[in-house]
């Protein structure tokens, strides 16, 4: 996001027109051909985003554009063009309304699919949940219970043994392995629980 964290709460005038800044931003995170760049702009012609897509393509990275105008400049540049054609905004020019909502839905789909492919989910469960507070610890217990069909006591005990790692606890219960054995098997399968369970 051009303007960084500050731009989340405060306007950064002219930031979206700065085509040089995107190069600095991408280089600062060591963006490479192994990454994917998703460029987002309601108009499909924001200079900052266009320059970012061009830079990513020059490296050989996969590029995706999300715009709310058909046949946009961004769509012509990107390898994959996603067009959220929502029609005119109820408040002319207020692209945070229909356009922003539609684009957020697309981002939800992209990130959810990515997390599934990375093995962060098992069935419809978020098995990589970080149990960092009481609410999430309770959720981890429910996830383990649902994935393994075990009772609450076994789920809680195994989660304690697995250092509150729901995925590891599920692996231990379903495969009847020790913590260290289950961990090795998960690592062998890049953390993908379904693959590890097939062995």
Q: What is the pLDDT of residues 73-117, one digit of tens each?
A: 999 999 999 999 999 888 888 888 999 999 999 999 999 999 999
As a whole number, mean pLDDT of residues 25-31 equals 96
pLDDT at residue 185 is higher than 80: yes
Percentage of residues in the chain having pLDDT higher than 90:
83
Tens-digit pLDDT profile for residues 143-159: 999 999 999 999 999 99
For the domain made up of 6-117, the CATH class stated in words is alpha beta
φ, ψ for residue 64, nearest 5 deg: -130, 135
Mean of the per-residue pLDDT values of the chain: 93
Average confidence (pLDDT) over 133-152: 97
Q: CA-CA distance, 175 to 26, in Å (whole number)?
A: 43
> Which two three-digit tokens encode residue 45?
């012609």
Determine contact, residues 86/93, Cβ cutoff 8 Å.
no
**What average pLDDT does this structure show over 173-194?**
97
Eight-state DSSP code of residue 5: T
Per-residue pLDDT, averaged over 11-19, amounts to 70
In this prediction, residue 55 carries a pLDDT of 98
Of the CATH numbers 2.60.40.10, 1.20.1250.20, 2.30.30.60, 1.10.8.1080, which one belongs to the domain with range 134-198? 1.10.8.1080
pLDDT number for residue 20: 84
Average pLDDT over residues 52-70: 97
Mean pLDDT score, 175-179? 97
Q: Show the tokens assigned to 38.
A: 């998703």
* Residue located via tokens 């062998």: 188
Q: Which residues contact 9 (CB under 8 A, 6 or more apart)?
A: none
pLDDT of residue 16: 76
Q: Is 37 helix (H, G, I), strand (E, B) or coil?
A: strand
Q: What is the pLDDT of residue 152?
A: 98
Domain chopping of the chain, boundaries:
6-117, 134-198
Cβ neighbours around 102 below 10 Å, total: 18
The answer to whether domain 6-117 and domain 134-198 are alike in fold is no
pLDDT value of residue 14: 66
Residue 113 CA to residue 87 CA, distance in Å, equals: 27
């Amino acid at each position: 996001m051009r303007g960084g964290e500050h731009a989340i709460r405060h306007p950064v005038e002219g930031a979206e027109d700065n085509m040089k800044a995107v190069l600095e931003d991408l280089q600062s995170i060591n963006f490479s051909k192994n990454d994917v760049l998703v460029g987002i702009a309601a108009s499909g012609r924001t200079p900052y985003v266009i320059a970012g897509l061009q830079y990513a393509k020059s490296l050989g990275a996969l590029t995706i554009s999300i715009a709310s105008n058909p046949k946009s400049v961004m769509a012509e540049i990107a390898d994959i063009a996603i067009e959220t054609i929502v029609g005119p905004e109820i408040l002319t020019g207020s692209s945070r309304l229909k356009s922003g909502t539609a684009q957020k839905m697309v981002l939800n789909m992209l990130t959810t699919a990515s997390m599934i492919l990375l093995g962060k989910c098992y069935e419809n469960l978020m098995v990589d949940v970080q149990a960092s507070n009481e609410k999430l610890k309770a959720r981890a217990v429910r996830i383990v219970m649902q994935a393994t069909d075990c009772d609450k006591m076994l789920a809680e005990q195994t989660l304690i043994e697995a250092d509150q790692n729901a995925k590891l606890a599920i692996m231990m219960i379903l495969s009847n392995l020790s913590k260290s054995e289950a961990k090795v098997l998960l690592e062998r399968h890049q953390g993908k629980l379904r693959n590890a369970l097939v062995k």
